[in-house]
């Protein structure tokens, strides 16, 4: 049996994320065009990649219908100008769609089936609201496999607050405020823009160009957050301010075997170490990253103290806080979401996994003292996903100097 091949993250890009709905910048833009734009941008940034050498394209979407249907990986590959010889497929694991695209194709590279692959995701929540036209089997509720609240992500976040009284609304609001501040600082420092692919937009006012995320609110204050209504429960704790919004956007990344990257002279931004997915009670789906992280660490032979950088998807502030409390990490730990997260940037469901990876890859370049980082997210219907990455820029001397 052949040895497992080294799997590397060569590069990743995304479109700016827009606000979903008629007032959002992508209201008149097709979902498939968003991901095609991301793929084209990715390939233009990596001209050394022979298009006919790409072995697979996996694109995720949560609501696979209309312009998010028709086997997105294949249709997007053709629309992006890849040769007809390049196959593709679609993936659905709700919020972790793009993450699953990466782990699935990464596994294929490790096994030796692929040398080069493109993974990503798209979600146009304006055109395709989460769960739209879905027909859940009546047995889910009739046989009490899940409660009705488990199908409402905001209600599951309220239940995390119920289960852990130390996770107060004030803590969630303070975390959300910091996310907004960190995103604003990252934009100011030019940390986010390098991986954004501009997208032409159309509205009643005419043509425009999307070059920045639409959702951030740098003017956010604790007073403003405290006054927001709690839509999922009277006198609740989950608000629009301490949650990710409804968004449109797409991501794409290039994966390769270590040998192929070396052959073609491609960059290596990260190395895949391990990954894991885990299931939890659907009613408190937000704690999913806890068991998936424990599982991924165990498979890698690492402990949480080995992780120097964390990119955690901020579906809800309380969900991230439950992860931090479990692992004994402070709310303000500088290792966590250095550039901010989905509360400010947005969370177009199936696309978000690669956004986390893009940000971690950037941070690896700036932190040669860090050897391992992870990307993790909660997933609807009671799941969590975690991917552990190694920093190719790691320098033992830098780590010693930091001490």
Residue 169 tokens read as 């609304």
The answer to whether the beta carbons of residues 229 and 239 sit under 8 Å apart is yes
DSSP string for residues in 86-115: --EEEE--GGGHHHHHHHHHHHHHHHTS-S
3-class SS of residue 121: strand
Instruction: Give the Å distances, CA to CA, from 241 to 129, 169, 226, 228, 267.
Output: 19, 11, 9, 7, 38
Q: Which of 128, 161, 367, 378 is catalytic?
A: 378
The position carrying tokens 């509360």 is 343
- Asked whether the beta carbons of 208 and 24 are under 8 A apart, the reply is no
Q: Please list, residue by residue across 378-392, b when 16 or more beta carbons sit within 10 angstroms of its beta carbon and e when fewer do.
A: bbbbbbbbbbbbbbb
Contact 314, 337 (CB under 8 A): yes
In this structure, what token pair is assigned to residue 351? Answer: 């696309």
The yes-or-no answer on residue 253 being catalytic is no
128 is annotated as an active-site residue: no
Q: Based on the number of CB atoms within 10 Å of its own CB, is 296 exposed (0-12), middle (13-18) or buried (19 or more)?
A: buried
**Phi/psi of residue 282, nearest 5 degrees:** -55, -30
Inter-CA distances, 148 with 73, 92, 118, 246, Å? 33, 21, 37, 21
Structure tokens at 115: 């040398």
**Could you say which of 124, 128, 161, 347 is catalytic?**
347
**Separation between Cα atoms, residue 59 and residue 350, nearest integer Å:** 9
What Å distances lie between residue 181 and 217, 237, 243, 357, CA to CA? 9, 21, 15, 20
Q: Choosing from 95, 128, 253, 367, which is the catalytic residue?
A: 95
95 is catalytic: yes
- List all residues 6 or more positions away from 143 whose beta carbon is below 8 Å from its beta carbon: none
Give the tokens for residue 328: 């004994």
Q: Which residue has the tokens 């408190």?
A: 284
- CB-based contact 339:373 (threshold 8 Å): no
Q: Please give the positions annotated as active site.
A: 95, 347, 378
């Amino acid at each position: 049996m052949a040895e497992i091949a080294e799997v590397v993250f060569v590069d990743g890009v995304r479109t700016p994320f827009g606000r979903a709905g008629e007032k959002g910048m992508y209201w008149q833009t097709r979902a498939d065009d968003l991901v095609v734009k991301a793929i084209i941008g990715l390939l233009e940034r990596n001209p050394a990649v022979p298009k006919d050498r790409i072995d697979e394209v996996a694109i995720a979407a949560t609501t696979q219908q209309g312009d998010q249907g028709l086997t997105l990986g294949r249709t997007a590959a053709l629309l992006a100008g890849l040769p007809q010889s390049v196959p593709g497929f679609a993936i659905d694991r709700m919020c972790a769609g793009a993450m699953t695209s990466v782990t699935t194709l990464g596994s294929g590279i490790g096994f030796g089936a692929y040398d080069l692959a493109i993974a990503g995701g798209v979600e146009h929540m304006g055109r395709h609201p989460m769960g739209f036209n879905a027909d859940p089997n009546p047995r889910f509720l009739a046989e009490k496999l899940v409660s009705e609240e488990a199908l409402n992500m905001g209600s599951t976040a309220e239940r995390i607050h119920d289960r852990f009284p130390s996770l107060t609304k004030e803590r969630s609001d303070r975390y959300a405020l910091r996310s907004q501040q960190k995103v604003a600082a990252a934009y100011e420092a030019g940390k986010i823009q390098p991986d954004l692919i501009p997208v032409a937009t159309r509205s009643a006012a005419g043509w425009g160009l999307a070059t920045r995320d639409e959702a951030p609110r740098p003017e956010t204050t604790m007073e403003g957050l405290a006054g927001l209504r709690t839509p999922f429960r009277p006198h609740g704790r989950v608000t629009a301010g301490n949650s990710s919004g409804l968004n449109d956007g797409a991501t794409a990344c290039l994966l390769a075997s270590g040998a192929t990257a070396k052959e073609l002279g491609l960059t290596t931004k990260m190395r895949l170490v391990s990954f894991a997915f885990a299931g939890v009670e659907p009613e408190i789906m937000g704690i999913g990253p806890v068991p998936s992280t424990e599982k991924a660490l165990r498979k890698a032979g690492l402990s949480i103290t080995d992780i120097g950088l964390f990119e955690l998807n901020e579906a809800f502030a309380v969900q991230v806080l439950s992860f931090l409390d479990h692992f004994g990490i402070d709310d303000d730990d500088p290792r966590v979401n250095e550039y901010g997260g989905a509360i400010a940037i947005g969370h177009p469901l199936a696309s978000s996994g690669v956004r986390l990876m893009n940000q971690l890859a950037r941070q690896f370049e700036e932190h040669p003292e860090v050897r391992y980082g992870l990307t993790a997210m909660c997933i609807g219907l009671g799941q969590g996903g975690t991917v552990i990455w190694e920093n190719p820029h790691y320098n033992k001397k830098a780590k010693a100097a930091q001490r």
